[in-house]
Amino acid sequence: MKLLEKVVLGAKTLKNAIVMAPMTRSRASIAGVVQDLTVLYYTQRASAGLIITEAINISEQATGSPFTPGLYNHEQIEAWKKVTASVHTKGGVIYAQLWHTGRVGHSVDKNGILPVAPSSIGIQGQQHYTSQGMKDYETPRELPNSEIKQIIKEYGQAAKNAVEAGFDGVELHAAFGYLPNQFLSESANKRNDEYGGSIANRNRFVLEVMQELVNVAGNEKVGIKLSPTIYYNNIENSDPQAQFKPLIEALNELPLAYVHLMNGMFPLDHLPHYQKNVMETFGRVSTHLVIANAGYTKESGEAELDKGIAKLISFGSPFVANPDLPERFVQNAELNQPDPATMYGGGEKGYTDYPSLEN
């Protein structure tokens, strides 16, 4: 079974082709510090070939939701050291996913300060989870050029902090409608400067961030997550292939560890021009190792690896409920089902109390 075969990722040899996908769990303190339960949570899942953490805020401004972790101060870094050390003790490999939410946030959890974005365009038709319940999105403040440059440097500092915290690498969260994805989107980016107006300009922010991350973390220690055909959070493009193909081709010129691609996830009936097969359309463009994500089972993941485009498959909710997911694949054992009610926030229930085969 290809899912159980070793895979070389940069300087690391992964024990299998099974990746724990990044998943927000909202178990950090209000100050963005991960707790001892988080150490246990990731250690329980260290049999994955690669763990990619939940999204981690690169700065206070980057924070969009309460109880999500950060990596921008000493206390946060020290807390993550416990996670990486414990995972490494179990022979695991762990990357930190770096996060700036952009307009996907609300001022009630940002000390009254509005979220920021490439353009002053708010998200319509959705609400945001806040510490005061669900709220309509606000109109974000448009970032000036100088502040964009500052955020790029903050990504670099977060990568430096990740290295200090013991992570094996970092992943840029450039998917699912967060700040880098907002720059890539015609619907969210109406700028007419060097960061907007043309496809090349909309790609510029992501490429400059990736160069910064490589400069700090090193060659073959940086990945990126992209979602070319996901329109959640009001992200749309008139031609995703025209937008993302040049981006991936430009990423080919950087010494990256991987490109992590999300399948569509949502119905595309109202967007007939969107490509239905993400791996065929975009995965084949990448000369880097490809991780395929979203909606895979053991069987469909194995089938994806058989096609030869993706070398790793990342699993989300199956890893929530099955800390020993690789072993369950080995034994063809029944999977625990995740409890949606305990997915976000809370304590050990629905977090570290899912049974393994041993208990």
Over 80: is that where the pLDDT of 146 sits? yes
Name residue 216's amino acid: V
3-state SS of 164-204 is HCCCCEEEEECCCCCHHHHHHCCCCCCCCCCCCCCHHHHHH
Size of the chain, expressed as the number of residues it contains = 359
Q: Are strands 94-99 and 50-57 parallel, antiparallel or unpaired?
A: parallel
Task: Give the Å distances, CA to CA, from 21 to 300, 314, 319.
Answer: 16, 5, 8
Q: What own/partner pairs with CB < 8 Å and gap ≥ 24 does 74-78 have? A: 75/31, 75/33, 76/31, 76/32, 76/33, 76/34, 76/161, 77/161, 77/164, 77/165, 78/165
Q: Are strands 127-130 and 133-136 parallel, antiparallel or unpaired?
A: antiparallel
Q: What is the pLDDT of residues 126-141, one digit of tens each?
A: 999 999 999 999 999 9
| Adjacent-strand bridge partners of 293 | 262, 314
CB proximity list for 37: less than 8 A, separation 6 or greater: 27, 347, 348, 351, 352
pLDDT score recorded for residue 123: 97
pLDDT score recorded for residue 317: 95
Report helix, strand or coil for 264. coil
274 part of the active site: no
Task: Give the CA count within 13 Å in the CB-facing half-sphere of 5.
Answer: 10
In the chain, DSSP finds a helix count (H) and a strand count (E) of 10, 14
Report helix, strand or coil for 109. helix
Q: What is the pLDDT of residues 28-67, one digit of tens each?
A: 999 999 999 999 999 999 999 999 999 999 999 999 999 9
Average pLDDT, whole number, for the chain? Answer: 97
For residues 101-118, average pLDDT: 96
pLDDT score recorded for residue 268: 82
Catalytic residue among 178, 258, 274, 296: 178
pLDDT score recorded for residue 197: 95
Over 80: is that where the pLDDT of 359 sits? no
CB proximity list for 74: less than 8 A, separation 6 or greater: none
Question: Under a CB-based contact definition with an 8 Å cutoff, are residues 26 and 66 in contact?
Answer: yes
Q: Can you spell out the DSSP letters for 315-340?
A: ESHHHHH-TTHHHHHHHTPPPPPP-G
Domains of the chain: 2-342 (3.20.20.70)
Q: Are strands 7-9 and 12-14 parallel, antiparallel or unpaired?
A: antiparallel
Assigned token pair, 357: 């085969």
| Adjacent-strand bridge partners of 130 | 133
> What is the share, in percent, of the chain residues with pLDDT greater than 70?
100
> What's the burial of 294, exposed, middle or buried (CB within 10 Å: 0-12/13-18/19+)?
middle
Q: What is the pLDDT of residues 229-285, one digit of tens each?
A: 999 999 999 999 999 999 999 999 999 999 999 998 888 888 888 888 999 999 999
Question: Under a CB-based contact definition with an 8 Å cutoff, are residues 87 and 36 in contact?
Answer: no
Q: What is the pLDDT of residues 294-336, one digit of tens each?
A: 999 999 999 999 999 999 999 999 999 999 999 999 999 999 9
Over 90: is that where the pLDDT of 217 sits? yes
> Residue 84 and residue 29: Cα distance in Å, rounded?
18
Q: What is the pLDDT of residues 147-174, one digit of tens each?
A: 999 999 999 999 999 999 999 999 999 9
Nearest to 324 by CA among 111, 121, 6, 44: 44
